[in-house]
Homo-oligomer: A and B are copies of this chain.
Amino acid sequence: MALILTFLGKGGTGRTTVAIAAAKKLATQGARVLLAGVDPGPSLGLLLGTSTSPDPQELTQNLQVVQFQSAVLLERSWEEIKKLEAQYLRTPLIKNVYGQELGVLPGMDSALALNAIREYDASGKYDAIVYDGSGDQTTLRMLGMPEILSWYIRRFRKVVEDSDLWKTVSPFIQPISSAVLNVSWTGDNFAQQPTNEVNNLLERGKAAIADPSRTAAYLVTTGDPTAVATAQYLWGSAQQIGLTVGGVLLNQEPVTEGISANFSPLAVSSLPICPPSDWQPLIEALPDLRQAASAPKPIEIDISARQVRLFLPGFDKKQVKLTQSGPEVTIDAGDQRRNISLPPQLSGQSVKGAKFQNSYLTISF
């Protein structure tokens, strides 16, 4: 299991440069590191001074670099899907559709990149994966995907199972499935079996992203007020997807009291201006990036006190909304919507009270 690190901040604050320095630092400390760039544009290659490719290549000892290319990842995933089809369907349907034809739709970049990270993580070849994503909402959508997708599956499975529609359609499921599928599925497990495997994947993804010793983000900013405000906004937004933010990297400026106050209680580290291709001063100035577990946790559940505490920095009271229209408690903040999956003792209960103080939303049941 690798440590997955990513950097959030406004464009132009030096996120890619910091990601490269972080990867180099971890590699010199002896970790086997994969630096993964997501945008196939020329930035990463130019900063590294080398060409990059969709397969990992060695950069220096312990350090490999890969630049994800969605069209390539899509081709490979398509071959996997065709294998599954051949396994389960009596007469293959999509075998004549080629991976080389498939265009990339919105969202596919994120889904494919997350899947690629999962596979590199599972390969056991790396101790750390430094993900140089777009560093904004798109990266948060990607890392929030396991939790949100598993909510959709949970919610809609129940809706279908409880529905009159299911009672109407289910008599047809048995004859269709035996005519179409290689394996025998009854109406009962038809809706469950194929989704269980996906659910296991999603549960493992959720657990990895919620664990700050497995996945952590760091904020990158300059002293520019727009960059600082954007970093604060991304800090709060990251908590909303359960991602722990471990600290702040202030690029090319000394730390002031004002900036520290904006990010309290996180540590703010100043990074020096470095001449191109001299990475050493930057590498030395980086803090230990494995310490995110000591930063405030996005969520804490106290079953005996019947309380849930959410850390939502960077938002004020009127930017945080709590609703309970569906079966779960929903929190809106920073265009991230989170359904809180509660332990059995609190699940399905009505909210008795909620208060927002010192960046913490405390919900009582």
Contact = CB atoms under 8 A, between A and B. Distances in A.
A100 B323 contact: yes
Interface in A87-107: 89-91, 93-94, 96-98, 100-107
A337 interface: yes
Interface in A142-191: 142, 144-145, 147-149, 151-152, 155-156, 159-160, 163-165, 168-169, 172, 175-176, 179-180
A200 interface: no
Interface stretch (A10-18, A298-306, A356-364): A10-18
B40 A335 contact: yes
A136 B137 contact: no
A159 B110 contact: no
A160 B107 CA distance: 24
Given A71-B335, A109-B137, A233-B42, A103 B165 contact: no
A230 B42 contact: yes
Contacts of A339: 101, 103
A193 interface: no
A119 to B, nearest CB: 18
Nearest to A175: B172
A171 to B, nearest CB: 9
Interface stretch (A205-213, A283-291, A326-334): A326-334
A107 to B, nearest CB: 2
A86 interface: no
A208 to B, nearest CB: 17
Q: How many copies altogether?
A: 2
Contact of A168 (B47, B147, B179): B179
A134 B47 CA distance: 21
A108 interface: yes
Nearest to A141: B106
Contacts of A40: 137, 334-335
B152 A103 contact: yes
A70 B69 CA distance: 26
Given A90-B168, A91-B164, A107-B110, 19 more contacts: A10-B12, A41-B234, A42-B229, A46-B226, A93-B165, A100-B325, A102-B337, A103-B148, A103-B151, A103-B337, A103-B338, A103-B339, A104-B337, A106-B141, A108-B141, A134-B138, A138-B138, A168-B179, A169-B180
Nearest 10 pairs of A and B residues by beta carbon? A12-B12, A11-B11, A107-B107, A106-B110, A103-B148, A106-B107, A101-B326, A91-B164, A98-B325, A42-B229
